[in-house]
């Protein structure tokens, strides 16, 4: 019955624990299952590459004060310097060290990936499971809302919302990303729930008088942990890219140091036209690598939930 706990290679409640409610005492402990999940993901070459890259970014973010040669906000250097021994990636148009900014910038992107992934997945799990399990009006309304959110183009919606909200900051950006980014996961989880709701173990739980929330979140949810993990990584990837786009447009707080605001300043000080291409290249490369490594991990998760995709 408890697929995630017993199925070898299944992504355990450890990962789902970010999204689901606290579970009963019977499945193996969260840490144990998380370790098992990582071990089976490790077997997939692409996922391994992705996890190593993410780990590298996490280390950079944690050790930024040690690694960075200067403070990222120190603007006392000469403007628009080229790469040199003192400034490996040069300086910005307003006289900050580019390398230090790139290193510190990883903190914001990882924060956005974690928060956007977690909260969007929470909404996706709630909406998706309820829409898939319940029948009647709730199912129709939630399903319709999911489809509407899916077809409305995300970035224009985020731009409009972020423009109206007073104040500029990373929390506003995360909020906007979460509000617009849950629908994909909800749709996938909903169709899987709908196919599970007529299974025998659900019937058994219903007959033994379990309440709806218990059936949905304790009986059905553990069978879909890999899908929950997939929607977490998809939302995190989309979040990293959306944050960069919004900040590039100037909808973030331009005084925070992040990869998106670096690109915003590079664009506004015409860094490309003065030949300062590193200022554009470096932060964009980091955004792409982080997004790609999240997507690569998702490959591994995908092939866990769909054995046909596994390498022959």
Binding stretches for other proteins (CB under 8 A): 46, 49, 144, 147-148, 150-157, 159-161, 163-166, 184, 237, 241, 244-245, 248-251, 263, 267, 272-273, 277, 280-281, 284-285, 287-289, 291-292, 295-296, 299, 302, 306, 308-309, 311-312
Whether the Cβ atoms of residue 258 and residue 250 lie closer than 8 Å to each other: no
- Distance of closest approach, residue 62 Cβ to other proteins, in angstroms: 23
Q: What whole-number distance in Å separates Cα of residue 253 and Cα of residue 249?
A: 11
- Give the residue from 287, 276, 289, 284 showing the smallest Cα distance to 89: 276
Q: Which residues contact 206 (CB under 8 A, 6 or more apart)?
A: 215
Instruction: Considering the complex, state which of residue 10 and residue 245 has its C-beta at the smaller distance from other proteins.
Output: 245
Whether the Cβ atoms of residue 300 and residue 41 lie closer than 8 Å to each other: yes
Q: What whole-number distance in Å separates Cα of residue 47 and Cα of residue 64?
A: 25
Instruction: Considering the complex, state which of residue 1 and residue 165 has its C-beta at the smaller distance from other proteins.
Output: 165
Q: What whole-number distance in Å separates Cα of residue 116 and Cα of residue 247?
A: 15
Instruction: Considering the complex, state which of residue 32 and residue 295 has its C-beta at the smaller distance from other proteins.
Output: 295
Dump the DSSP string for 99-133: HHHHHHHHHHHHHHHHHHHHHHHHHHHHHHHHHHH
Three-state DSSP at 148 gives: helix
Instruction: Considering the complex, state which of residue 200 and residue 311 has its C-beta at the smaller distance from other proteins.
Output: 311
- Distance of closest approach, residue 91 Cβ to other proteins, in angstroms: 19
- Distance of closest approach, residue 130 Cβ to other proteins, in angstroms: 19
- Distance of closest approach, residue 20 Cβ to other proteins, in angstroms: 24
Instruction: Considering the complex, state which of residue 221 and residue 234 has its C-beta at the smaller distance from other proteins.
Output: 234
- Distance of closest approach, residue 278 Cβ to other proteins, in angstroms: 11
Instruction: Considering the complex, state which of residue 11 and residue 161 has its C-beta at the smaller distance from other proteins.
Output: 161
- Distance of closest approach, residue 298 Cβ to other proteins, in angstroms: 9
């Amino acid at each position: 019955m408890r697929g995630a706990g017993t199925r070898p290679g299944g992504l355990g409640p450890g990962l789902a624990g970010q999204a689901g409610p606290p579970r009963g005492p019977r499945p193996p402990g969260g840490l144990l299952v998380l370790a098992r999940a990582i071990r089976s993901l490790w077997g997939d070459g692409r996922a391994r590459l992705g996890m190593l890259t993410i780990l590298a970014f996490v280390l950079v973010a944690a050790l930024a004060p040690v690694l960075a040669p200067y403070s990222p906000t120190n603007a006392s250097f000469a403007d628009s310097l080229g790469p040199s021994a003192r400034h490996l990636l040069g300086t910005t148009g307003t006289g900050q060290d580019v390398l230090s900014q790139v290193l510190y910038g990883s903190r914001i992107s990882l924060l956005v990936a974690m928060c956007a992934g977690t909260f969007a997945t929470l909404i996706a799990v709630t909406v998706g499971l309820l829409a898939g399990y319940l029948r009647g009006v709730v199912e129709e309304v939630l399903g319709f809302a999911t489809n509407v959110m899916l077809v409305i183009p995300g970035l224009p919606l985020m731009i409009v919302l972020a423009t109206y909200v007073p104040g500029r900051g990373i929390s506003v950006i995360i909020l906007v990303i979460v509000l617009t980014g849950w629908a994909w996961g909800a749709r996938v989880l909903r169709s899987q729930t709908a196919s599970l709701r007529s299974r025998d173990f659900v019937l058994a739980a219903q007959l033994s008088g379990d309440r709806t929330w218990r059936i949905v979140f304790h009986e059905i949810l553990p069978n879909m942990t890999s899908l929950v993990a997939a929607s977490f990584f998809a939302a995190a990837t989309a979040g990293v890219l959306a944050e960069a786009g919004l900040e590039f447009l100037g909808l973030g707080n331009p005084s925070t140091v992040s990869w998106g605001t670096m690109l915003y300043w590079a664009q506004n000080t015409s860094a490309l036209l003065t030949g300062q291409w590193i200022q554009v290249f470096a932060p964009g490369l980091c955004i792409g690598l982080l997004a790609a490594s999240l997507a690569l991990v998702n490959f591994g998760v995908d092939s866990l939930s769909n054995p046909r995709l596994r390498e022959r």
